[in-house]
Structures are given as C-alpha cells and as structure tokens.
Structure 1
C-alpha cells in the first residue's frame, strides 16, 4: 500500500463512521454531554473567558492530577486531549519507534508524518502482548492499555517486560478510567523511562473540549513540551482537568466503570461473544463485515469499521458499549 494511502487509513476515526440521526456505536464516548456537576463547573467559568489562563491555574490543574495519581506537579504535562500527546512524540527524537497493533492509529500517524522510522508489532488474535516481538533496537515503544480496538487489558508485568535501557515506553491509558479499579495502570509509578497518557474526553464526554495529560519524568516532559505555544490549554480545559481529578470525580468515574462493565457483559451475551473484554468497546469479527456495516447504517446504526487498524480486516467491527435499549435496537437492525 502506498504511503499516502497508509496515512489516510491511519487517520480514520470513529466519528467519520458516525453521523446525524444514527444510533452511535462507532464513537467510544459515554453520552452526548458531561455529567451535570461537571457541566456546572464549566459554565461557572464562562465569565472568565475574557482573560488569559494563568500559570497558577495550570499549576492548580497539574497539582490536582498529581495528587490523584500520587505524583508531583512536575511529573504532569497537560494536553489538549491525549491526541496532542501523540502529536508531540516526534520531539523525543526516536531512531526507531515500535507501535504495537492493532491499536489506536494516531501515534503511528504522528511519527510517520514526522519522518520517524516505525516498525509495526502486529499481535494475532486474541491479541496477547508478547514483549519478545518488539525489536531490541526500538528506542520508543507505544501501546494502549486497555487497547483500542481489541479491548484487551495487558498485565502490568508484560508492560514492565518491554522496558530496556535507552528505551522509552509510552502507554496510552485513555480508557483505563473506564476499568474498575484501574487495574494494570502505570500512572502512579514514577518510572524514568515510562510515559502514561490519559484522556478526559471518553468517560467524561468531553470530546469537543479536548483535555488530557501525560505523566512522566520532568526531563522527558520538557522534551515533549519544547516549542509548544504559550497557553496551550484554555480556561475551560484547565477547569475540566482539575475537576475530573478531584476525589469525588474519581469516585464517580469508578461508579461509571461499574456500569460499563455490566453493560459490556450484557452486550457480550447478546452478541454471542466470549467474555474477557476490558474496555468500553468490543471487537467483532463477522462474515462479510463490510456488507453488515453498510446494512446497519442503512438501518440507522453506525459501527466503527475495523480495516483501518493495522492487523485487522474488513470483517472486523468495533462497537462501543451501550445500554440494553441501544443493544436491542442494534440487534433489531442487524441484517440477516
């Protein structure tokens, strides 16, 4: 496949598969708006938009995140969504980056567009991580946990087995706040060779605001942030980051993780899938997947195509976890 076509495939995301009026199983965002208490926090800051966000507000948000994960504010870099963190990865100056697939494609896209050599480490179903598959000379390794779109949660020991002298490990934990107990997270571990990215756009329904952060050693974060514009995050983004890191908010997200787990189990049974997924989405492989996807869309249901993920094909579909009523509508729309 020519490079331009590869980059176009890597740039495909679920919002392209969704559309007005469609029942949305394509986008991994919970609901259409943030919870009411968070919305009230953001609305209360609207009158502050006439002034620039201050360094003290940035520090307050970083301090809230640091407290949430048992880190220091210097180990926190705030982001306009986790996707910005991936866009910053080329600044680390990797000689050879390894991206573990199937996974979120934005890291590979950012690295390739910056001219960084990339090797794909493609896992076969059931997508169990084998650290031995990663080339020893890779000085940057990127993977998701739980991984989008496979919904596999890699054990902490397997992540640590990827670490090597002279190598940076980047773990995309965009969906770990949707896992009960945040099992397997490295966010609280102050490791000099590990970067952990978190997103607030999924569980909190803030995709339109763009908010997230990366945790890591201060010297590595300094390399990532070099050359960023002044005021990289606005007032509402800083408020959202601070609000979502507070203890009551973390408790809310864990309660929501319990709801997601129950909905996922129901959805697995309804679709005849084996249990074991860990994220707020499911990966299916169905005969004639492209036809099924098109038929579902004609019947008013949007699902995420799977063939733009390296290692998957046209028979793969990704479905966001939804409630019983939405799953019933999905089954009713499923083609014969």
Structure 2
C-alpha cells in the first residue's frame, strides 16, 4: 500500500501489473484513475439497493438471461453473443483458455491482457505504435502468424481511436481479434465501435461499466462474440461467476434511459477534454497527445517526469505515471479529464512544478 502523499518511486517490479489506483491515496486529487464521478448516479444506486433483497438467493439463469438480453438489444446482437463478466479484466484473464500459439498486443495500451497471457506462458509479441504518427495502428505491423491480437479502442493511455476498418483488417480465419472497448461509451456516438459487428470472424469485444457509471468496486462488464468463441472463453469458469448485483448493473446500464444519460455524459466529457487539453498545452514544455478518450497523455520536458510527479503529489495531485506502459517513458504521464476548475488547478500546479524542476536543474 502507498502511504498518503508518497510518490510510487522507481519502476515497479512488474510494470504490467501497475495500474492507476496505486497512484492515488486519501486526500489526493485523483487524476490517475479514469472513473467518472465519486459514486454511481442516484437512479443506479436505487436499482442496486432494491436488488439487495435478492442476495439471500443464488443468481439464477433468469437473472443472467435478463442481463444478456438487455446487452443484446443495446448492441443489436443475439442474446447468445453476450457473456456477462466480473469486469472486462475478467475477460483478459480468460484469454489463455483460447490456447493461442502467439499473441500480439498493441502498445502503448492497457497492460493487463499481456500480463494475463504471459502469466499463462503464452508467447507475446509487442506491436508498438509510433508517437510521430499519432500512435495510429498499422495492421501490417501485426505478425501474420499471431492467432490472438489485442488492441484497445480508444486506446489507453494514448486516447487514440482507431478506425473500425483498420481493426477489421486484422481479422482473419483462425485468429481471435480482441478489441478492448472499455472507454467506447465515453466517446460521443461511439464511432468506430465493433460491438455490433457480429459478422467479423473471430472478433471478441470487451466492454466495461466501471468508468462511465462509477462502478469500479462492483466489477461489471461483458464480452460480445460468436457463441462458440464465448463458450471456449468460459471453459472452467466457476458456477455463479458473477453476482446478482453485477447482473442487475449490466441490465440497468444497458437500458434506453441509461444509454441516453451516457450519451449526455460523453458529450460533456468531450467538451471538458478540449478545455483541459488547451489549458495543459499552454504550459511551456508540455505536449498533449491528440485523442478522444476521457484522459490525456502528456509528454513533459526530457528528464523532468519523476520530479514533476513528485511535486504534483506534494501539491495534493495524483497523476498516472506513463513508464509502465510499453513504448512510453518516465516523462509521460496520463491525467483523467475532469471539470474545468480541476483542469485549471492541474495546469497551474504543473506550470509551477516544471518551473521548480527547471530552476533546480539550473542551480
């Protein structure tokens, strides 16, 4: 556990297992984690609270069917194309069950898929995108013999939204294409999503409810794919793999009223992202990567990253270090998109921190 206001320090022993929640602590302004809001909205809490009376009974097939039906309608899929998960991270933990001979993971990207595959002894090829090309994915860079490919869309932490056609170009018979769409619902209109693309061979889309609905502690998500692929993924899964509250959350967050609320939230996030990006780009020496996700990837002046993180933390602000993402280094940080007054506070603190570091280096 990280003590309050202590910097996480040197690169962790297992960088692939380092996530933003480790960066924050009580009393810090949390810009390291991308969950929106401090708690689920009242209507969702009421739905979950009402389901508490059902906790004496085991989750039933009817509970599961209702959740899957809501997701199926939401994405215009068959109910058999839906598998409810204990968060999309459970979907990554299941990938070794597909027995890939070679997995290709696109980086910089969420590191949990590679960690799960390596833990299971699966050979992994890293496909690094190029910052000079806006971290866009070149399908030709993916090894042709990879029978499992993992890519985020939008990608975490770069915020890049890859065209759906680029991702479709990675699909082929005998290959599973895993698209992590954990942040897709935070992008207005969900452009480039493959969630409804039932005809793409070997496609597996993973979705999370954690971010938009402030449900990180509940672990709720789902997978979309062909029934035979989902069956392979679920081999060895325990009975009652997700609880009643998770099933209720998946159902509730897939209904029309929730989708409308999510669309409104995505539009607000887009406006806030533009405001925050402009404020941070105005700080001398800071480069803000273009993107669409509810977080921003910053490049700080060479050699200043660790010291700047330390000074931000001393000022009560937690940001996500970037050097645990393959392809990034110690001068990269990721920050969550927040309200304009929070963005202004971050910009001011970042400007002061960089000035302090620069002055000390020159002394």
TM-score, normalised to structure 2, is 0.90
Asked whether the equivalents of residues 98 and 140 of structure 1 are also in contact (C-alpha less than 8 Å), the reply is yes
Is it true that 1:306 corresponds to 2:314 in the alignment? no
Asked whether the equivalents of residues 199 and 211 of structure 1 are also in contact (C-alpha less than 8 Å), the reply is yes
The 3-state SS of whatever aligns with 1:214 is strand
The 3-state SS of whatever aligns with 1:165 is coil
Name 1:166's counterpart in structure 2: 174
Name 1:212's counterpart in structure 2: 221
CA distance in 1, matches of 2:65, 2:191: 28
Asked whether the equivalents of residues 176 and 202 of structure 2 are also in contact (C-alpha less than 8 Å), the reply is yes
The 3-state SS of whatever aligns with 2:297 is strand
The 3-state SS of whatever aligns with 2:196 is coil
Deviates more, 1:32-41 or 1:143-152: 32-41
Q: CA deviation at 1:327?
A: 1.1
RMSD: 1.2
Name 1:282's counterpart in structure 2: 296
Name 1:292's counterpart in structure 2: 308
> Where do 5+ consecutive residues of structure 2 fail to align?
1-10, 282-286, 356-363
CA distance in 1, matches of 2:13, 2:289: 33
Name 1:51's counterpart in structure 2: 57
1:54-203 counterparts in 2 under 5 A? Answer: 54-125=60-131, 126-190=134-198, 191-203=200-212
Q: Once the two structures are superposed, what CA deviation does each residue of 1:70-98 show, in whole Å capped at 9, x if it has no partner?
A: 00111000000000000000000100000
Q: CA deviation at 1:6?
A: 8.5
Q: CA deviation at 1:164?
A: 2.0
Of 231, 244, 251, the residue aligned with 2:240 is 231
Aligned length: 332
Where do 4+ consecutive residues of structure 1 move more than 4 Å? Answer: none
CA distance in 2, matches of 1:166, 1:129: 21
The 3-state SS of whatever aligns with 2:14 is helix
Q: Once the two structures are superposed, what CA deviation does each residue of 1:274-293 show, in whole Å capped at 9, x if it has no partner?
A: 67311000000002111111
The structure with more radius of gyration: 2
Asked whether the equivalents of residues 7 and 109 of structure 1 are also in contact (C-alpha less than 8 Å), the reply is no
Asked whether the equivalents of residues 146 and 154 of structure 1 are also in contact (C-alpha less than 8 Å), the reply is yes
Name 1:254's counterpart in structure 2: 263
Q: CA deviation at 1:157?
A: 1.0
Of 16, 38, 41, the residue aligned with 2:44 is 38
Name 2:331's counterpart in structure 1: 315
